[in-house]
Structure 1
Amino acid sequence: MFSRQAKIKAEPADTVSEELAHSTSPADEAETQSDKTSQRNADETAKTLVSVAEALSNFGVEMVDVAGAIETANAATTGLQEAFNLLCQAAEETQVQTGVIREAVTTTAMVANASGDTMQRSRDALGKAANDIATLISSVTEINSQLQGLQGALVSVGEVSQSIDQIARQTNLLALNATIEAARAGEAGRGFAVVAGEVKQLASETSTATQQIQETLTQLNQEADALIGLGEGALTGVSAVQESTSALDEVIDELSDAITEIGSSSSVVETGIVDIESATKDFASNVTTMQETVTSNSALLDSAAERIGNSVDETDRLVGVTADSDIDTDEGRFLDMAREAVDAVQNAFAAEIEEGRATINDFFDQDYKPIAGTDPEQVMTRFTAITDRVLPAIQEPVAQSSERIVFCACVDVNGYLPTHNEKFSQPQGDDPLWNAANSRNRRMFDDKVGLRAGQSTEPFLMQSYRRDMGGGKFAIMKDLSVPVYVQGRHWGALRLAYKV
C-alpha cells in the first residue's frame, strides 16, 4: 500500500555496456565514461545522504536518551533539593526547640536551687519543731509524773485526815464522858466540866474541819485524775506529732536529695544542650551549603535539559528534512504513510459533512463530557461517534503495517484521542493500571508530545521521546504527526508513533 522510490538511482550496468558497444568514436567513449562517473558519483552521494540521515536519526535517539537521563537526574536533584529544604527547616526548628529546652533547663536549675534553699529552711524549722516537741513531751511527762506524785500525797493527806477525824470522834466521846462525870461530881467537878466542854467543842470543830478537808481532798483527787488523763492524752497526741514530724523529716530529706539531683542533672543537661546547639548550628550551616550546591546543580541541569531539548528538537527537524526529501529512509516511508492516512481522514471527515451525517460544529465540539465510573477518566464529545465510525478503517492498516509501529491515531488540538487502535480500545476493568495501558481511547493526552502534535500546523512534526516502560526501563520512541484539517480549519493531527 505504501512505498517510496528513491529518485536518485544508479543506471543499470548492462544498459551502459550496450551503449558503449554501439559507440566507437573517442568522443562517444569520453561521454560514456563521463556518464558512468556522474552516475557513480550520484550513487555515492545517495548512499552518503542515506548514511547522514541514519546518523542524524541515531544521533537524535542518543540525544533523547541523554535528555531523559538528565531529566531523571534533575528529578532526583529536585527531590534532593526538597529533602535539603526539609532538613534546613528541621535544623532551624531544632535550633529553636533547643533554645526553648535550654531556657527550660536553666529555669529548672534556678527553681531547683531556690527549692533547695526553701527545703533547707523547712528542714531547719522542722528540726526546731521536733526539738520543741521533744521538750514538750518531756515537760508533759514530768508534769504527769508530778501530778501522780501529788495524787499520792493527797491520798496520804486523806488518810491522815481520816485518822485525825477518828481521834476527834474519840476525843468527843471522852469529853462527853468527862462532862457526865463532872456533872456527877457536882460543884467539885464544875471546872472539869468547863474543860470537858471546851474539849468537846474542839473535837467537834476538828471533826468538821477533817470532813471539809476530806471533801477538798476528794475534789483535788478528781481534778488530779482529770489532769493526769489530759496529760496522758496530750502525751499521746504529742508523740503522734513527733512520729509525723520524723516521717516529714524523712520526706524532706528525700525531696532535698531529689532537688539536689535535679540541680545536678540540669547542669549536665544544660552542658549537653550547649553542645547540641553548637552541633546543630554546624549541621544547619553544612546543610545550607549543600542546599545551595544542589540548587546550583539543579539550575545547571535545568539549563542542560533545556539545551539538550532544543538540540533534540533541532535534530528531529533535520531528520524531518531528510524524511521529506528524495532520500529513501525509514522516516521518509513513515512520513508517506502518515500523509496518505491524513488524506484519507480528511476525505472521510468531509464526506461525513457533505452527506449530512455530521456538521462542522460537531467536529469542533470541545465540551468533553466525562464517562461515569471510568479510571483513568474517559470523555466523550459530539465527534467521538463519528471517529469511531470512520477512523478504524484508516488507522488499523497503518498500525499493523510494521512491527515497529506502536500506534496510529488521531487527536484534536487539545490532545483528545477519541478513537484508538483496536488493541488499545479494550473496555475498562477494575484495575486502573490495566485500564491505563489497554483502554487508551476517549482519553486526554495533554502532555508535551501530545499537545505539540495536536497543535502544530507545520507540514509535519517529528518528536523523539522516552516512553516509560516501568521498572526504571525506558524505550526510545518517535512520534510523527501530520496536521488534519476539516473544511480548511485546523482540527488536530494524525500521530504515528514507532519504535526506534
Structure 2
Amino acid sequence: MRDDRGMGKGPVNGDSTDVIRSMAEDAGDLAVQIAQAHGHADAISAELAQQRSVFDGLHTEASRMNEASAAVESATRTAKLATEAAHERLDTARAGFLRVMDQVRTLTREADGMGDSVDALAHAIEGVRRSVEDIAEVAQLTNMLALNAQVEAARAGQSGRGFMVVAEEVKAMSERTAAATSTINKTLQNLRGSADGIAKTNAALLARTLSIRDETSVFSESMDAIDSAMTEVNAQQEQIEAARRDSARAIGVVDQSIRRMDESVGTAERGIAGLRSGFGKIVETSESLTSDFAMLGVETVDTPYVRAVQNAARAVSEAFEQAVATGAVTLEDLFDTRYRPVPGSDPPQMTTRALPLTDQLLPRIQEPLLQLSPQVVFCAAVDRNGYLPTHNRKYSQRQRAGDPVWNAVHCRNRRIFGDRVGLAAGKSTRPFTLQAYRRDMGQGQFVMMKDVSAPIYVRGKHWGGLRLAYRVEEASL
C-alpha cells in the first residue's frame, strides 16, 4: 500500500527482497532501454521532419524554376514577335529607302543636266551680248551718217528738203536702236546674274545630292547589318526556347522525383509517429512500474536520488512559504505565469514576477545536489508549465548574441521546457516521478538520463516540481 507522502510504508523483508530488487532493477533497465529507443525514434522523426522541410523547399524551388521557365517562354515569345514585327518594319523601311535612293539618283542626274543647261544658257547670253554690241556700233555709225546727211541737206536748201526728212528718220531710228540695245544690255546683265545664281544653286544642289547618295549608301549597309543581326537574334531566341523546353522537361522530372520522395518520407514519418506513440505509452508504463517498485521501499540505484529530491522539494516549499509569510513575495507573484520574453534572446528566455525570489532562494537548495553523485547533471525547479526560472550556475551564463547553439547548451535558465519529461515533472503531484529519456546536450551530443522529480507545494497549492537529472549507462540496442 502506498504512502502518498514518501517512498512507501517500509522496506520489504525476507527472501522476497532480493527478488523484488532484481525485478526493480530489471524494470529500471527496461525503462532506460525503452527511453533510449524512444529517443532514437524522436531523432528519426526529427530527421524525417527535416527531410520533409528540405523536400518542401526543393519543391518550392522547382515551382519557382517552372515559373521562371514560363516567364522565359513568355519573354521569348514576346521577343520573337517583336523581332518579326521589326523585320517587317525594316523591310518596309528598306523598300521606302530604295525608292528614296532612286529619287536621289534621278535628282543627281537632273542636277547634273541642269548644270549643262545653265552653261549653255550662259554661252547663249554671251552671244546675244556680243550681237547687241555690234548693233550698237552700227547704230552709232548710222547716227553719225544721219548727222552728216542733215548737214548736206541743209546746204542744198530747198532741194535737199526731202533728203533732210530721210536723214531725220535715220537719226531717229539710230537713237531708238541705241536705246533698245541699252535696254537689252541691262536685261542681259540681269539674266546673266540670274544664270550665275542658278549655276551656284545647282552646283550646291548637285554637291548635296552627291553627299546624300554617299550617306544613303552607308545607311543601306547599316540596314543590311541590322537585318543580319536581327536574323542572328532570332536564331538565338530559337536556341534559347529549345534549351528552355529541355530545362522545363528536366525540372518536371526532378519535381516528380521530389514529390515521390516527399510521399515516401511522409509515409515513413507517419509510421514513426505511430511508433513514437507506442514507445511513449510503453515508456510511461515502464516508468510507472519502476516508480511502483521504488514505492515498495526496495533499495535500488535510484533510491538515493529519489530521497534527495524529495527532501530538496520540501525545502523549496518551505522557503517559498516563508517568503510569502514574511511578505517578500505575494502568492500571486509567486504563481505568476505571464511569461515575458527577454528581448533578443535566442533561444528565447522569459521572465516572471517571481524571478527575483527564485534567483535568491533556489541556488542554495539546488547547487548542493550537484555534489550528490558524479552522475548528477543538473537540479532545477520548474513550474507546472515547464518554465525553469533559476537553473544551476553553470547553465545560467549570459547569452552570446548570434550564437544560439552555444546559448542552448550554456544558457538554460529562464526557459520553458515543454517536452514530455519537463511537463511531467512540473505537472505531477505524485510523491515522486521517475523518468528516463535521451537528452540532447547540443552540438549533436546525446546522453541517456533519468529524471526524478518531486512536487513543490505552497500553502497547499501545487506550484511545480524539483527536477534532479543524472546519467545512466546507455543500453546497447
The two structures have a TM-score, normalised by structure 2, of 0.82
Residue identity opposite 1:67 in structure 2: H
How far residue 83 of structure 1 moved from its aligned partner, in angstroms, is 2.2
Distance, in Å, in 1 between the alignment partners of 2:413 and 2:58 is: 44
Change (3 A) 1:63 1:424: same
Change (3 A) 1:268 1:440: closer
Distance, in Å, in 1 between the alignment partners of 2:123 and 2:74 is: 71
Structure 1 residues 170-199: Cα deviation after superposition (integer angstroms, max 9, x where no partner): 122123223323443456656655554444
Bigger CA drift: 239-248 or 452-461?
A: 239-248
1:302 is the counterpart of 2:247 = no
Q: 1:99 aligns with which of 70, 80, 88?
A: 70
How far residue 473 of structure 1 moved from its aligned partner, in angstroms, is 0.9
1:481 is the counterpart of 2:453 = yes
Distance, in Å, in 1 between the alignment partners of 2:162 and 2:148 is: 15
User: Do the aligned residues in 1 keep the contact of 2:434 with 2:450 (CA within 8 Å)?
Assistant: yes
Residue identity opposite 1:469 in structure 2: M
Change (3 A) 1:408 1:96: closer
Distance, in Å, in 2 between the alignment partners of 1:328 and 1:171 is: 172
How far residue 291 of structure 1 moved from its aligned partner, in angstroms, is 1.8
Match of 1:361 in 2: 331
Q: Please, what is the CA RMSD of the aligned residues? A: 3.6
| 1:48-67 correspondence runs (5 A) | 49-67=20-38
Match of 2:181, SS state, is helix
Match of 1:329, SS state, is coil
Match of 2:229 in 1: 258
Match of 2:177, SS state, is helix
Match of 2:305 in 1: 334
User: Do the aligned residues in 2 keep the contact of 1:413 with 1:492 (CA within 8 Å)?
Assistant: yes
Structure 1 residues 247-294: Cα deviation after superposition (integer angstroms, max 9, x where no partner): 432332232222222222222222222223322222222222222222
Match of 1:485, SS state, is strand
1:491 is the counterpart of 2:443 = no
How far residue 136 of structure 1 moved from its aligned partner, in angstroms, is 0.7
Match of 1:402, SS state, is coil
Structure 1 residues 318-343: Cα deviation after superposition (integer angstroms, max 9, x where no partner): 22233333433102332233334445
Distance, in Å, in 1 between the alignment partners of 2:315 and 2:467 is: 14
How far residue 207 of structure 1 moved from its aligned partner, in angstroms, is 2.1
Distance, in Å, in 1 between the alignment partners of 2:180 and 2:369 is: 152
How far residue 478 of structure 1 moved from its aligned partner, in angstroms, is 0.8
1:146 is the counterpart of 2:117 = yes
Residue identity opposite 1:250 in structure 2: E
Bigger CA drift: 434-443 or 396-405?
A: 434-443
Match of 1:493, SS state, is strand
User: Do the aligned residues in 1 keep the contact of 2:309 with 2:466 (CA within 8 Å)?
Assistant: yes
Identity between Structure 1 and Structure 2 (%): 32
Residue identity opposite 2:62 in structure 1: A
Q: Which has the larger radius of gyration?
A: 1
Structure 1 residues 136-176: Cα deviation after superposition (integer angstroms, max 9, x where no partner): 11111211221122112111211121122112211221232
| 1:82-481 correspondence runs (5 A) | 82-186=53-157, 193=164, 195-343=166-314, 361=331, 365-366=335-336, 377=349, 379=351, 381=353, 385=357, 388-389=360-361, 395-417=366-388, 423-424=393-394, 429=398, 431=400, 444-481=416-453
Bigger CA drift: 286-295 or 155-164?
A: 286-295
Count of paired positions: 460
Distance, in Å, in 2 between the alignment partners of 1:143 and 1:478 is: 117
Match of 2:3 in 1: none
User: Do the aligned residues in 2 keep the contact of 1:168 with 1:206 (CA within 8 Å)?
Assistant: yes
| 1:2-81 correspondence runs (5 A) | 7-8=12-13, 42=15, 47=18, 49-81=20-52
Change (3 A) 1:276 1:430: closer
Change (3 A) 1:311 1:183: same
Change (3 A) 1:458 1:363: farther
User: Do the aligned residues in 2 keep the contact of 1:405 with 1:498 (CA within 8 Å)?
Assistant: yes
How far residue 448 of structure 1 moved from its aligned partner, in angstroms, is 3.3
How far residue 455 of structure 1 moved from its aligned partner, in angstroms, is 0.9
Change (3 A) 1:408 1:259: closer
Structure 1 residues 366-424: Cα deviation after superposition (integer angstroms, max 9, x where no partner): 266869899674645459648945x6665555442222223334433233445655x45
Distance, in Å, in 1 between the alignment partners of 2:398 and 2:121 is: 112
Q: Where does structure 2 lack aligned partners over 5 or more consecutive residues?
A: 1-6, 473-477
Match of 1:498, SS state, is strand
Residue identity opposite 2:331 in structure 1: N
How far residue 453 of structure 1 moved from its aligned partner, in angstroms, is 0.7
Match of 1:414, SS state, is coil
Structure 1 residues 81-132: Cα deviation after superposition (integer angstroms, max 9, x where no partner): 1222222233233323322322332232222223212211211211111111
Distance, in Å, in 1 between the alignment partners of 2:141 and 2:287 is: 158
Residue identity opposite 1:126 in structure 2: F
Bigger CA drift: 344-353 or 322-331?
A: 344-353
Match of 2:302, SS state, is helix
Distance, in Å, in 2 between the alignment partners of 1:370 and 1:379 is: 5
Match of 1:467, SS state, is strand
Distance, in Å, in 2 between the alignment partners of 1:359 and 1:58 is: 43
The two structures have a TM-score, normalised by structure 1, of 0.79
Distance, in Å, in 2 between the alignment partners of 1:314 and 1:200 is: 161
User: Do the aligned residues in 2 keep the contact of 1:64 with 1:312 (CA within 8 Å)?
Assistant: yes
User: Do the aligned residues in 2 keep the contact of 1:477 with 1:499 (CA within 8 Å)?
Assistant: yes
Name which structure has the greater RCO, CA cutoff 8 Å, separation 6+: 2
Match of 2:296, SS state, is coil
Distance, in Å, in 1 between the alignment partners of 2:341 and 2:142 is: 141
Change (3 A) 1:139 1:176: same
